[in-house]
Chains A and B, each alone.
Chain A
Amino acid sequence: MSNDNIVLYERKPLPAKLPLIGWSLLLIGVALTVLAFSIDNVRASYNLIIVLMMVFSVGFGSLFLIALEHIVGADWSVPFRRLTEIIAAVLFATPLIALPLFLNLNEVFSWLNPVVMDSDKYIKNKSPYLNESFFVIRNIVVFLFMFLFYFLLVGRSLKQDKTGKADTKKWSTKISAIFLPIFAILITVVAMDWLMSLEPKWFSTIFGVYYFAGSVLAALAVLTFIAITLAENGYLSKYLTEDHYYNFGALMFAFTNFWAYIAFSQFMLIWYANIPDETMWYMQRGGEGWMTVSLGLIFIRFLFPYLALVTRPSKSNPFRLKIIAVWVFIAHYYDLYWVIMPEYTKKTELHAPVYSWFEFTVPILVLGVLIVVFSLVAGKKNLMPIGDPKFRKGMEFHL
């Protein structure tokens, strides 16, 4: 590959059936969601929050991965950066998913109910933050910031395919440095607004980090699966090696451990201090019925991926990585289900896990959104950043 004349990447159009699959999944998902809203709009709303949070994880996590590459000057991920950029475009679907929720806020967030608000002085003290107008305003601000940074980070990279300008790197590095602290604040706001405020009385200062760890895992899983599947079917460069994939495995391994560390830290501190305002959240998830789901989370989200990724071959073997990526993505769904649905069963006083076609619309809708956005945005673009001066160096990456 030291020969500069080798063509590293030639564009091959994506198969025509991909948008077809995507649109049909999306239509089924939307139809089911509409049906669900007409039957039981509370339950449908809670499930739509899971969809929103999953799509958000993938988009925002991808944006984080792009910024991470720029700011640490990584070589290995340059060949995959275009894929990450395309996946990050699912962020544009989030306002559409959130729209029915904004119309239904009263059904979901109990802090909008003045009776609940006045019943507890802790909830009442939070009213400067938890009120309808501020909620809507700050979420719009979050969306605007997301779009702004998407264009700032991705726009020049797309132009680079034609111009091959080297100064884009400097620009992207600067933008990433500005983006990362803002990203930390935005993802904390999102986690607090859509996940924590379902239980308005609860306190946990680490919750934003918890959602962040899961988000990066979800984004990595989607990226790994798409990259390996496309590469195996010849849509990417034929010079990609297992060394390139190794870092997917290593990062997933690292973030699996990070997630476990954060989740356990949150649990242990709350368990140790034993203050009712904090333990209530875990009490709800440790009650009969939910206890099994909670214990399952340890295995599904941490132990299985940990053991699956611990050896070196499984971090670079494409087949194993694909399976693990699917597993990690399902585990993210499981995690969000565990965070969100106990609040639904608490509200409806069922106090046991529920799973029926209501819940099953979630994966259909999420897959539909991901595939449709991917096929739409990928369109006529190159799937690898051929104009990036570091592209060749990235292709020559060795462990």
Chain B
Amino acid sequence: MDNKILHSVTAIFHTPDDIINAAKAVVKEGYKKFDVHTPYPVHGMDQAMKLKRSPLGYFAFVLGVLGATLGLLLMYWTMTIDYPLNIGGKPTFPLPAFIPVTFEITVLLASVATVVAMIVIFFKFPNNSHPLHDTEYMKRVSSDKYGVTIEAADPNFDLEKVKAFLAKLGGTNVEPIYFDNDEINAKRTLLEPKFLTGLAVISVLVIAITYFTLNKLMFLEPFNWMMNQQKITAMEVTTFFDDGFSMRPPIEGTVARGFKPYPYKDSVDLASRFLVNPMEFSTENLENGKRKYNTFCSPCHDYHGNGVARLNGQFPNPPSLHTDKVREWTDGHLYHIITVGQNTMPSYDKQLTQDEKWQVILYVRALQRALNAQEGDLQ
């Protein structure tokens, strides 16, 4: 018992007014190293204790400015220098769009800095113990009482004098607090190997559980007898067939329904001589032809076929569809070009069915007629 080191003397007070007056009296008596504990912030305590300004504001300010700078620089580098993107015609350094993000980063860094600085400065990181922990005094002042602690480290400290002084102020339960021998000998700090090992184990566990939850648990089916059936799905490797393909090729010589072979692939002349448009001039055919024309042809040929269209400049412009040459081509000639392609124009065989090609040709004819109307057309 005798080798215990004295930390402080504590006293309990019962009303907020008492604690304010006690704090003022302690300051007046000349004690520097003392503290006040209250269950909630008591108004006027700062002045009563004559507290100096907290340095935390500077950390918040410096880190806040740093956050603003770094946030802006990050966005500037990614958006303006490294990978400039045109977003809605905005400049590549769109400052107004950056401000909300900059604001968030500023607030984030400033608040994190404040908390970290508080832990380092006031909790004396990596220390994690304090003689007042687990005392009757701390239990009382953290629930319904107010307390004053005068530390032994104060130059004016004298155990008996302080006890008498606190009792005179009206404090009850005046008692000395000693350093805990175990804590001093064990040097319990946050850098202790046992603690760090525990921290590492917990970290690994948390990571593992998180991984398991997010990647495994969330993808477990509640029931699986419909999901997992004895069947072969498309594109699956199989051992059933020798070649390993689950999808079978059609039998040689199979023809799809409605498919007509195109025998004139190599010859425009034959196509223009033998092919006749099977579609008749009807509203339905023209409407469908117009729809297909506007989808597949108009990007280059323009909606009216004059050849200056939305993709103007990205490819060589196609010639106008309204020249005499094109007008005099037969339907078969046009059909051949749509099917096989010509110069830069690719084949549209896969995009359009045979009927649709003929409907498009009808529509092109209508366009040509519209720009080159004959007198009789008006009637």
CA A264 – CA B103 in complex, angstroms?
12
* Chain B minimum-CB-distance residue to A311: B57
- Give the dominant DSSP class at B's interface: helix
CA A274 – CA B17 in complex, angstroms?
60
Contact between B17 and A2, CB atoms less than 8 A apart = yes
Contact between B99 and A264, CB atoms less than 8 A apart = yes
Given A2-B17, A311-B57, the answer on whether A268 and B43 have CB atoms closer than 8 Å is: no
Would you call B256 an interface residue if the criterion is a C-beta within 8 Å of the partner chain's C-beta atoms?
Answer: no
Given A2-B17, A274-B89, A399-B43, the answer on whether A312 and B53 have CB atoms closer than 8 Å is: yes
Would you call A397 an interface residue if the criterion is a C-beta within 8 Å of the partner chain's C-beta atoms?
Answer: yes
Would you call A355 an interface residue if the criterion is a C-beta within 8 Å of the partner chain's C-beta atoms?
Answer: no
| Chain B residues, Cβ within 8 Å of A243 | 44
B36-76 vs A: 1/0 string, CB under 8 Å? 00000001101100000100010001000000000000000
Would you call B100 an interface residue if the criterion is a C-beta within 8 Å of the partner chain's C-beta atoms?
Answer: yes
Would you call B313 an interface residue if the criterion is a C-beta within 8 Å of the partner chain's C-beta atoms?
Answer: no
Q: Which listed residue (B17, B46, B57, B96) contacts A268, Cβ 8 A?
A: B96
Shortest CB distance B293–A (Å): 33
Would you call B97 an interface residue if the criterion is a C-beta within 8 Å of the partner chain's C-beta atoms?
Answer: yes
* Chain A minimum-CB-distance residue to B17: A2
Contact between B97 and A272, CB atoms less than 8 A apart = yes
Contact between B43 and A398, CB atoms less than 8 A apart = yes
CA A312 – CA B43 in complex, angstroms?
16
Given A2-B17, A311-B57, A312-B53, the answer on whether A271 and B96 have CB atoms closer than 8 Å is: yes
Would you call A267 an interface residue if the criterion is a C-beta within 8 Å of the partner chain's C-beta atoms?
Answer: yes
Q: Which of A293-318 contact B (CB under 8 A)?
A: 310-312
| Chain B residues, Cβ within 8 Å of A310 | 61
Q: Which of A255-303 contact B (CB under 8 A)?
A: 264, 267-268, 271-272, 274
Shortest CB distance B320–A (Å): 35
* Chain A minimum-CB-distance residue to B57: A311
**In the complex, how many residue pairs between chain A and chain B have their CB atoms under 8 Å apart?**
26
Would you call B198 an interface residue if the criterion is a C-beta within 8 Å of the partner chain's C-beta atoms?
Answer: no
Given A2-B17, A274-B89, A312-B53, the answer on whether A268 and B44 have CB atoms closer than 8 Å is: no
Q: Looking at B44, B57, B89, which has the most chain A CB atoms within 10 Å of its CB?
A: B44
* Chain B minimum-CB-distance residue to A269: B96
CA A398 – CA B89 in complex, angstroms?
55
| Chain B residues, Cβ within 8 Å of A312 | 53, 57
| Chain A residues, Cβ within 8 Å of B46 | 399
How many A residues touch the partner, as a band? Answer: 10 to 19
Contact between A268 and B99, CB atoms less than 8 A apart = yes
| Chain B residues, Cβ within 8 Å of A268 | 96-97, 99-100
| Chain A residues, Cβ within 8 Å of B99 | 264, 268
CA A243 – CA B53 in complex, angstroms?
15
CA A272 – CA B97 in complex, angstroms?
8
* Chain A minimum-CB-distance residue to B46: A399
Would you call B250 an interface residue if the criterion is a C-beta within 8 Å of the partner chain's C-beta atoms?
Answer: no
Shortest CB distance B379–A (Å): 40
Q: Which of B80-117 contact A (CB under 8 A)?
A: 88-89, 96-97, 99-100
| Chain A residues, Cβ within 8 Å of B47 | 398
Shortest CB distance B55–A (Å): 13
| Chain B residues, Cβ within 8 Å of A397 | 43
Shortest CB distance A143–B (Å): 38
* Chain B minimum-CB-distance residue to A399: B43
* Chain A minimum-CB-distance residue to B20: A398
Q: Which listed residue (A2, A272, A311, A399) contacts B96, Cβ 8 A?
A: A272
* Chain B minimum-CB-distance residue to A268: B96
CA A398 – CA B49 in complex, angstroms?
13
CA A274 – CA B47 in complex, angstroms?
53
| Chain A residues, Cβ within 8 Å of B96 | 264, 267-268, 271-272
B307-343 vs A: 1/0 string, CB under 8 Å? 0000000000000000000000000000000000000
Shortest CB distance A261–B (Å): 9
Given A2-B17, A274-B88, A311-B57, the answer on whether A398 and B97 have CB atoms closer than 8 Å is: no
Shortest CB distance A314–B (Å): 12
Shortest CB distance B45–A (Å): 8
CA A264 – CA B95 in complex, angstroms?
12
Shortest CB distance B373–A (Å): 36
CA A2 – CA B20 in complex, angstroms?
13
CA A243 – CA B47 in complex, angstroms?
10
| Chain B residues, Cβ within 8 Å of A311 | 57
Jot down 9 A-B pairs with beta carbons below 8 A, ordered by A: A264-B96, A264-B99, A268-B100, A272-B96, A310-B61, A311-B57, A397-B43, A398-B43, A399-B46
**Known pairs A311-B57, A312-B57, A398-B44 / 6 extra A-B pairs, C-beta < 8 Å:** A264-B96, A268-B99, A274-B89, A310-B61, A398-B43, A399-B46
A-B pairs with the 4 shortest C-beta distances? A398-B44, A398-B43, A268-B96, A271-B96
